[in-house]
Structure 1
């Protein structure tokens, strides 16, 4: 029989929806959008019953036989709800075995988890021998006895889910230490007694983000397997024999057997489905809209582009406050839905959510005879919607006054306004599509929303979105590019990805390559490159499918109410008080010492990343380490050079990390690298101490790493407000003292985290220091701590860059204010109010090429102008010319910005030593060259370089010729001397 229908199912915390759609090419043009039947029912304690009822009803209503179903695709908010609600029933304790010792100790697992989720999920942590260098060689071999010892502890704690994460496990994924460790764990604990998740099977390069995703995945593994098995049980019971698919967060479908292993990939698939469903049902194709999906437990919002697809999130995505590096739609979620509990407090406050009665709404809510006051009760009592037939509104109005009901409506309105505000990137009013069964609780006249629109069948938009999801095929492999061109290697891989999508049921001949990711492994002479190609297409209703025979283990009945990690509290006591960034004042002591706070660190992290010009490594790990240091009672002091007066014997130690940005996101420091180098250097020079520390480069991670070195935990001396570059540069000798003084770097020292250290007493030329130390650094795994000869105070004042730390702080503060005020589109203007420059381009990354030469990553990123249907707001039409492309060559850092017109004409907009920063258009955060990838929407700004770089001597070392850029340097603007934060906020 002709299989011409597709069933889409959405299993929410409160309701289960089903929709049957015709799967033919003209379906979307029909008045009913090809929707044959739909049904909404209460989500049952055992999800099987609710799904069975919904599917039975749509088959009966549509007069459809089970044999006519081509596929069943399911979307669910179950998994992400568990994280948002801190649901102890669904989230299990996780043991994390990190293969990295002695590295990464300053950034242990769970370090950046919200406290409640950390308390709930953290079961056991151990940092063991193991891990790989960037070239695939071992940092240490794994030790079986260590792993077996940890297994005994894990068993004694009753933990059933284990994550294994190894440094650079993605480099050798197929034969990684992670999988070897997994085999040992399964042998020690018994294959049926434990779930083991290898991080390389879940995420990509970026240790903390990959580890976080793996922890989330492991925590809900048992629950996910039980849930997916129940879906298959429904189909078997109803005689439906066709593929079972789960929708992913990107709007494509994933085979159920794969989803049972990696449930984290289905996170936020409910909101994504609702957005795709809203686009399909509304036929919107003219402008940007906000889509708000209101369920029974959560409300989710995202921006729907006129193209009908969700706006992509920032380079890094937070799930329940946990940072991951998945590329998923920009979805914001809050614990507010039709079943959210409403509480009135003695102090007059009213709180709504985040906990919910969920699927028990029709029995637990007061209007239905229960004892829980919910948002649905408030909606009925306030007249926001007509009460259901079996609801008794008097049960609410007899208990609550009109003032209380109005107060609850006001709080609901406030929460929705805040949710929409999170999604907007401009301060103006937005139009919003409202979907989901819980949308009855949304008050009219939401602040910041010009108009609310409910499309036809809005209540089952999630199920419709699941039915119209696309099929994806993915090929992931490592290829050796030595003596081969990337294009010749890519073509057959693209063909394999297209065939994979077709084999999974996509229409043959219509599949398109959606994403190509090339991760070239630096410092590998054979140009080994990890390539991921993803192709997508529409489901072919006449295609042939492999029906997975999933096992259906005995299902434990699910509880009807979630169990929160912190009991029944209505707020988050562990969330720090919100700081008003616009009025925040840093702490300056009477002695002129700036005592760094967590807020300061947040500003520094953004500011240093932007000044890194795409290089210098991500500041995020250093930020976490410094924050942990402060939380443990440590202190960091920053001083202006005037702090020392005119003392002639003041010695300032320049230091930082050298190496590859790719290594910075994986092989996190042990915490001893720079201090070890400093001690060796001072010992060699016969010095007992120095008076202060200064960063060799303010850009990237080194802007914060040196704060840790100077902190009370290490050298306990001040950090000088300034650096030796004013940015980040790839070479050791590209510091300003080397422009004007030869031999200024030596003696110098370099050290790794396992006890290796090297002293360079002298060289014949500054550039030779780079060659020698780079060779040593490569041998030490392409990242090591370094210190150069201490500068005298007068030398720093003459040849350094003063107050660049203040400039980083001010840039970070400017970005933070834009975020707080929802003015992300104005981030470029805010940055340029701190330092002169120009907004160069707004667009989307279309292609990235990388290669390694002489120990450095060279590459080029091409940024295309946005199509008219992708532009949400235009603050500068000069940078939004359709058909133009911006090309940025980079050598670790961005070197130039070259604009190419549609006719092929090129003009150079900016070159080094001016600063070129590529920002994520959705967050305002800087994107490092190692994180450039297809599809990211970006804003490119240029800032003026320090005048010492623009002299003939400075250009010789830091100008276009130094990087073989064929261009004549032309300043992007006049350099603005940074204002001292210490002087402004003293007294």
Structure 2
């Protein structure tokens, strides 16, 4: 991606839509507005404001990068979910824990998924232990059709080693369900069966919504007469095509906090720091490591469902600019997690409302200039002091939980709710508030690069460790180029060995990630 190319970065959150226009390292213009029910309408309005502030030629815009939390929000809120058939290919093995085990009861009831256990599968070596039961699979597809299934999740034992088993199964299912969206687990998760299956079902449940939302994105830019390739931010802060986002919406579930962390790094020039993004409802605390968000090493939960999907290590707490301040007789009892959200401008005291929020406390304490300060002049000094103490105590506790060392580290403060922080924070060497901090997530989207990654078993005994790692690095680079990266810019930024000590072989699970700049002129699907 050339340094002279103009880029449009957008973050579509549950409350706000943020936009920046950038050329090279320079932010040319920015805008912020509320997200609308039809996300396309909100994009048209806020992007229009940003274009007016820039006053440039929109034909100069070479690429559009969008980060969104629309899909993960829908799953958390249990809305707009497709009817799913979960097909597990593992019999006579892999049946000890049935599909959807461990899912929240209310989510299982809402999803009302049809589940099927089918014969077939392979060992970790890739050798079949049972043939695919095609008759049972065809019968399952017919039953799913009769149940009104819209989307299918297919999971087979050790599918990352033998993806052809799931591909054969999908071909059989398509004969009966030609219009259904089909998600194959080999393209979604890691080695573990149950967590990978969970991620596949989550993805399948969001497939219809993803097509609708991404189509709305594309139409919005057609309405704006912006003829540039559109990319979507994924969980690791890199880009995928719109077509990939429609097929794999789960790839975008953590794009919001990831873009904030990447944007914070760009705006300050730091490569290692704590990042606190305070919005209207929550504060997201993440860790910047080597210029990228640190990934969690533990199981990840999406809307209460355990997956082995790769996600940034982010801690969210219920503290934001719209958080309710709960009071008793002459004292503050708690802050949040309830929030007035985007209704702050009508509910907050300083805006003429009748709800005491953390923003009102910040205005009364003199750390923010918003609304009418006279409307909070009656708040007692002791009560304000207690609230400010509690705000900082909650943030300090969260920061302490995200850190891996007691040594003080720099902290980058971003987001519209950053007005809540008015004092030094314990465990922090310095607090940085960069320019454009309020739209850091859109900046993170605009600067995103293209990634490629592999998560496979390599035979160290046969190949030797050095050759196996070289192959893993080469495979990750090839995936990045395939995704649209400039081959000359691709570099491996992460490679992890996970010895499979429970297996009698020299196989080692290797995770490798490579990133590169977007190749100028690439046409996103």
Specify the TM-score bucket, using the shorter chain as the normaliser.
Answer: 0.7 to 0.9
CA gap of 1:363–1:140, structure 2 versus 1, over 3 A, is farther
Q: Give 2:22's aligned residue.
A: 21
List per-residue Cα deviations over 1:170-208 (Å, max 9, x = no partner): 2210x21x33443444444x433x433221120121112
Q: How far apart in 2 are the matches of 1:290 and 1:481?
A: 36
Residue pair 1:13, 1:359 contacting (<8 A) in 2 also: no
Give 1:408 deviation, angstroms: 5.4
Q: Give 1:144's aligned residue.
A: 135
Q: Does residue 190 of structure 2 align to residue 182 of structure 1? A: no
Give 1:476 deviation, angstroms: 8.4
Q: Give 1:546's aligned residue.
A: 523
Give 1:99 deviation, angstroms: 2.4
CA gap of 1:345–1:323, structure 2 versus 1, over 3 A, is farther
Residue pair 1:14, 1:339 contacting (<8 A) in 2 also: no
Residue pair 1:292, 1:432 contacting (<8 A) in 2 also: yes
Residue pair 1:6, 1:71 contacting (<8 A) in 2 also: yes
Q: How far apart in 1 are the matches of 2:35 and 2:495?
A: 39
Q: Give 1:418's aligned residue.
A: 397
Q: Give 1:191's aligned residue.
A: 178
1:49 to 11, 34, 41: 41
Q: Does residue 444 of structure 2 align to residue 465 of structure 1? A: yes
Residue pair 1:432, 1:452 contacting (<8 A) in 2 also: yes
List per-residue Cα deviations over 1:79-118 (Å, max 9, x = no partner): 34445xx312255564433223454444233334456655
Q: Does residue 2 of structure 2 align to residue 10 of structure 1? A: no
Residue pair 1:18, 1:40 contacting (<8 A) in 2 also: yes
Q: Secondary structure at the match of 1:250?
A: coil
Q: Does residue 78 of structure 2 align to residue 78 of structure 1? A: no
1:237 to 223, 229, 233: 223
Q: How far apart in 2 are the matches of 1:87 and 1:205?
A: 28
List per-residue Cα deviations over 1:508-538 (Å, max 9, x = no partner): 5232234567999999999999987643223
Q: Secondary structure at the match of 1:509?
A: helix
Alignment of 1:637-716 (within 5 A): none
Residue pair 1:12, 1:295 contacting (<8 A) in 2 also: no
Q: Does residue 290 of structure 2 align to residue 298 of structure 1? A: no
Q: Secondary structure at the match of 1:465?
A: helix
Q: Which runs of 5+ in 2 are unaligned?
A: none
Q: Does residue 315 of structure 2 align to residue 332 of structure 1? A: yes
1:63 to 55, 63, 84: 55
Q: Which runs of 5+ in 1 are unaligned?
A: 28-33, 549-987
Give 1:144 deviation, angstroms: 3.4
Q: How far apart in 2 are the matches of 1:200 and 1:15?
A: 34
Give 1:72 deviation, angstroms: 1.1
Q: Give 2:189's aligned residue.
A: 203
CA gap of 1:48–1:3, structure 2 versus 1, over 3 A, is farther
Aligned residue pairs total 522
Residue pair 2:89, 2:119 contacting (<8 A) in 1 also: yes
Alignment of 1:555-704 (within 5 A): none
Q: How far apart in 1 are the matches of 2:219 and 2:454?
A: 30
CA gap of 1:442–1:64, structure 2 versus 1, over 3 A, is same
Q: How far apart in 1 are the matches of 2:336 and 2:174?
A: 40
CA RMSD of aligned residues (A): 4.2
Q: Give 1:220's aligned residue.
A: 206
Give 1:292 deviation, angstroms: 0.5
Q: How far apart in 2 are the matches of 1:222 and 1:229?
A: 11
Give 1:311 deviation, angstroms: 2.8
Q: How far apart in 2 are the matches of 1:81 and 1:442?
A: 27
Q: Does residue 359 of structure 2 align to residue 376 of structure 1? A: yes
Q: How far apart in 1 are the matches of 2:145 and 2:350?
A: 47
Q: How far apart in 2 are the matches of 1:97 and 1:393?
A: 62
List per-residue Cα deviations over 1:35-55 (Å, max 9, x = no partner): 221222222222222222332
Q: How far apart in 2 are the matches of 1:393 and 1:166?
A: 64
Give 1:137 deviation, angstroms: 0.7
List per-residue Cα deviations over 1:947-978 (Å, max 9, x = no partner): xxxxxxxxxxxxxxxxxxxxxxxxxxxxxxxx
CA gap of 1:224–1:153, structure 2 versus 1, over 3 A, is closer
CA gap of 1:366–1:333, structure 2 versus 1, over 3 A, is same
Q: Give 2:119's aligned residue.
A: 129
Alignment of 1:431-446 (within 5 A): 431-442=410-421, 444-446=423-425
Structure that is richer in helix per residue = 2
Q: How far apart in 2 are the matches of 1:148 and 1:522?
A: 39
